Homo-oligomer: A and B are copies of this chain.
Amino acid sequence: MADGGALPKAQITRRLILEAAASLFRQKGYAEVSLREIAQLAGVKTGSLYYHFESKESLVEEILTLGTQGAFEASRDAVAALGAAADPVDKLEAAFTAHARFLLEKEDFASANLKILPQVPPAIRERHVRQDREYATFVAAIIDEIADAGRLGPDVDRTLLRMLCFGALNWSISWFDPKGRSPSEIAAQLMILIRRGALASPS
């Protein structure tokens, strides 16, 4: 039967391998996970991996790309949905909420990315740090919007603020519990910190 859609049988297996690998990489790290382990979780024999991927490195490279692009797109779409004229602080909230959501409740690509990017061979790492930089620039632009409107505290460093916020969110992959606070609540708490600080009355 002529398949009209672009869904050859192999693409399904390919996806299964990617998801199995991302899940294991996220839990254990890059070198800690063997191709035999990935194949087993994907329900495939080890040698079969090489029908779909050139090497372990090319497999991890695709996972890294899926993670970065996914988080970036989720963030960008959420901000775009507000319209260009929206309050830039609301834009920041949309970006952080989408980031937390993609990181913690979607597939494992984004969390695997954060976990293994520093462990991956240097050549691959450098290539993907660029992609991360695009994402960083996007968020930096939102913070610039806030600053240009004169709404940033006088002693606040834009870059440092961005780093600390992303750190707070990204680190959550190491303590997040699906039965505890939701990704949205985590992002919301961060926004409270940004908008008013953690304290009640004056300084």
| A residues neighboring B (CB under 8 Å) | 27-32, 89, 115, 118-119, 146, 150-157, 160-161, 163-172, 174-175, 181, 185-186, 189-190, 192-201, 203
Contact = CB atoms under 8 A, between A and B. Distances in A.
Contacts of A200: 150-154
B163 A172 contact: yes
Contacts of A163: 168, 171-172, 175
Contact of A168 (B31, B118, B168): B168
B194 A199 contact: yes
A161 B174 contact: no
A198 B161 contact: yes
B199 A203 contact: no
Contact of A197 (B118, B171, B186, B193): B193
Contact of A119 (B29, B151, B161, B175): B29
B31 A153 contact: no
B196 A203 contact: yes
A122 to B, nearest CB: 10
